[in-house]
Structures are given as C-alpha cells and as structure tokens.
Amino acid sequence: MRAGIVVTARPGIEELAARAEDLGFASFWVYDTPMVNGDPFVALALCAKATSSIKLGIGVTSPALRSVPAAAAAVSSLNAIAPGRLICGVGTGNTARRTLGMLPTTMAQLEAFTRALQDLTAGRETGYTEGTRTRDIRFLHVGQPYVNTEDPVEFVVAAFGLKAAAIAGRRGAGLISFGLLAPEVWGAFHDARRQAAQQAGQPADVDSYVMTSLHVLGEGEDRYGDAAKDAMGHVAMALLIFAADNPSFGESLEPAEADAVQRLLQRRGTTATATDRHRTLYRNYLGRIDPDDRDLVVPSLVDKLGLIGTADELTERIAALEAAGIDEIVIQPVVDPEKEMVELARLMA
C-alpha cells in the first residue's frame, strides 16, 4: 500500500511537498476549491520546482470550475515543469460548486469534460462546445517552452457512486474518493469500473486512491478524545456540511449524526433551505476544526471517516483497504503536518 499527502492549496506548501518526497511518500495533492483555498495550479507549480520525483495531484477539478481549454493548458503546463508526474482528478465539483451556492454538474458533463481533457493533454484534437456552436480544437504550440503533451498524465475520477465509477472505467481512468473507508463499497466501485472498462475496451489496471485522515493512538488514549477529533475532524465536518447543504443525504445518517447536522446549522446561523447558507456553512472548510465544534464529531463519524486506532489496528484496517483494491491512502495532516507525515511514514514502512 502506497501513501500520499493532501493539503489545501496555498503558497508555501512546496516546503511540505519537499518534505513528503524526502519521507518517501508517493504523491502530494492539493484540493481545487477556488473560493475556499488558493489556486491548485499555482501551488503545484511551486511544488513541482521544489521536488523531483513525487507525483503531484489535483484533487479534484471539474467542468464547473474551468473550461476544457483552460484546464488542459494548466495541466499540460504543469506537465512541462514536472514531466510525467501529474495526476489529474476530475469530478462534478460537488464541494467547489456548493461553496458558490450552486449545484454540481451532471455525470454527462463530467464524462465529456474528462474525455476532452484526456484528448488535449495527450496532444489530440477534441470537440469543444459553447452554446450551439461546436469546433474541433487542439494545442497550436506544443513542446517547450509551452506545454508537455508527450509525457502521460494520470487521470482519476472522483467516485461517490457507481455511475462515476463506470465513467472512470469507460475513460480508462482510476478512482479517487474522500473519507470513504468501507471496503465493501470499494468492492462495488471496482466491479462497476471494471465492467465498464471491459465494455469500452479500456485497461483494467489502474490505481485507486482514498483521501482521509490518520491518528495513531497512544497507550490508553481515548479513541474519541480531543486529539483524535482534531486529527480527523475536518473530514467529519465535511460530511456534516454536505448533509446540511443537501438534506436528502441526511436520511442516511444515524440519529446522533443527524442531530450534529442540526446543531451545526444553528451554530452557523442558517438553515438547510436558506439561499445564502453557503456563505457560512463552508467557513474554515477542510481546515483544523474549531475546538468548540469538537462535540459535533460524534463517535460514529470517527469510526467511519478516519483511520483512528493503535498501530496494530491501523495496520489491519489498511490491509483490509488494500485487499478491497485501494492502491494508495492519501492523508491530510492538519494539526502538525510535518509530525503527522513522519508518523504516517513510520506506520507505512
């Protein structure tokens, strides 16, 4: 099982990327949430100059954020700085769209965007549509000092359901998901992806990534104590915020989780139907949680969304994820990033 690191995009993270490379991590990712964090392509350009071998990932961009030509130029420009080291995650823009008070894009738009982005970054021509007009486009200048379309870019599709997994299969792409640690769900994803890949004549041997958090419990430490909640609270809060912003999802929550959603809405001074709820719900999104919000991270969320346990327990859970077909665990450190990276490197050794 490989391990990677994900952080929020900002200038200065290149130092963490260099440290992650020194520690032997396989990849270093940044989120693409424009109204929450900095620009991922600027951040990864800095990381590309500060590193030489670690893979660099965008987790994830979408047709709701960028046009195909702009996204292709950004990815292929990074590929010129870090040849063959780029992983481009694509998704419906679920979080990034909701931070704008908008809905995610459709699966059809996701698939068309992925296809076109794969074409352009590989130097091929593709169809590009605006309104009722469609034109074939391609890079007019390739090679240094512009873009790199020779070295392959790895593509992964953000999957929270079987339809997205099937898109990944049809496009010959891998899978990535956030906070999803149930081996049986990953088994279903891989089955859907594999079947779609076979029907489309696409390769079956691609990688799967899961983004989560990790905390190794000390002797006698409370599994649901402050340290554990601080380490994984940002993942738990992301789910609670999604449920608060998408009430139909709340039907799948346990009673304590549903109660936490209601308390979150009250603390943010908004409701699940307020048209301006995005302005308060996403405050400090994917950052270290406020101590006053620790009580919202109920035990079931700790168990479901984070890798929390003793070293032996974590080794067992990671082995189960690997058996389910996950190739790499990507951890977001938020308390003491360098210390947490060292701890993860030691655990994965």
| Interior/surface letters 230-263, b for 16+ CB within 10 angstroms, e for the rest | bbbbbbbbbbbbbbbbeeeebeebeeebbebbee
Model pLDDT for residues 44-84, shown as the tens digit of each residue: 999 999 999 999 999 999 998 899 999 999 999 999 999 99
Cα 228 from Cα 202, distance rounded (Å): 41
pLDDT digits (tens, 9 = 90+) for 299-320: 999 999 999 999 999 999 999 9
Each residue of 330-342: pLDDT tens digit?
999 999 999 999 9
Q: What is the number of helices (H) and of strands (E) in the chain?
A: 13, 12
Q: Is the dihedral of CA 303, 304, 309, 312 positive or negative?
A: positive
Contact present, 152 and 122 (Cβ < 8 Å): yes
- Pairing verdict, β 133-137 and 126-130: antiparallel
pLDDT of 349 reads 80
Contact 9, 43 (CB under 8 A): yes
* Residue-level pLDDT at 135: 97
Distance in angstroms (rounded) separating the CA atoms of residues 232 and 309? 12
Q: In terms of C-beta density within 10 A (0-12 exposed, 13-18 middle, 19 or more buried), how is residue 212 classed?
A: buried
Residues 86-96: tens digit of each pLDDT: 999 999 998 88
Half-sphere exposure of 123 (CA within 13 A, CB side): 11
Question: Which CATH number, 3.40.50.2300, 3.60.21.10, 1.10.645.10, 3.20.20.30, labels domain 2-213+310-348?
Answer: 3.20.20.30
**Which helix (H) or strand (E) element contains residue 55?**
strand 55-61
Of 165, 159, 197, 204, residue with least CA distance to 179: 159
Q: Give residue 6's pLDDT band: very low, low, confident or very high (50, 70, 90).
A: very high
pTM of the model: 0.96
Write down the domain spans for the chain: 2-213+310-348, 218-309
